[in-house]
Structure 1
Amino acid sequence: MKYLAAYLLLNAAGTTPNAENVKAVLSSVGIDAEEEKVAAVLSSLEGKTVEEFIAEGNEKLASVPTSSGAAASSGAAAGASGEAAAEEAAEEEAEESDDEMGFGLFD
């Protein structure tokens, strides 16, 4: 990620992103750049514009499943053990209530 960030910073500054420039950006913030990783980032971005690269990333993000399936399955599990959940909620209420003790956090 840091190698990509250095590449994008150089591109935004109007400087040609190459291995030496990427290493210079990273070393300016105290990061020792690994030659293999710099070469991998530069080779994967070779021949592409930043706009094309961002469009590819957006397409990949669009194919990532959302968490709505996980919420539905946890809701079904909670329905199956509703009695246990009610007991836990009652215990949490008892633990959270400091007003009954006669003092509060800022008294």
Structure 2
Amino acid sequence: MASTDLAPAYAALILADEGVEITTEKLTAVINAAGVEIEPIWLSLLAKALEGKNVKELLSNVGAGGGAPAVGGAVAAGGAAGGGAPAPEEKKEEEKKEEKEESDDDMGFGLFD
């Protein structure tokens, strides 16, 4: 990547490190001070994307995920609350459903046959 592509991200990191609110004007000031030319639309988009977010927290949670829990986790949690026996039965049923779905995909011919 060229330095002009990374300039807005670096400018946002500089502002976040200094504890300054990330706005289009402040991003423009940092990028102009660095002598980099970039279209203002990109700075505006970045400022709106980071508006109200803690950039330092985002960086520290890069690999944390944060999405919805896995299906297996929900089954295990439900089984633990209701007793040990129901959880394995539910898991077996899910495995059977997955196997059936996989067999439905194979219709006896390939893409290049």
Q: What is the TM-score with the length of structure 2 in the denominator?
A: 0.45
Query: Bigger relative contact order, structure 1 or 2, given CA contacts below 8 A and separation 6+?
Result: 2
Q: Which has the larger radius of gyration?
A: 1
Select the structure that is richer in helix: 1
TM-score, normalization by structure 1: 0.47
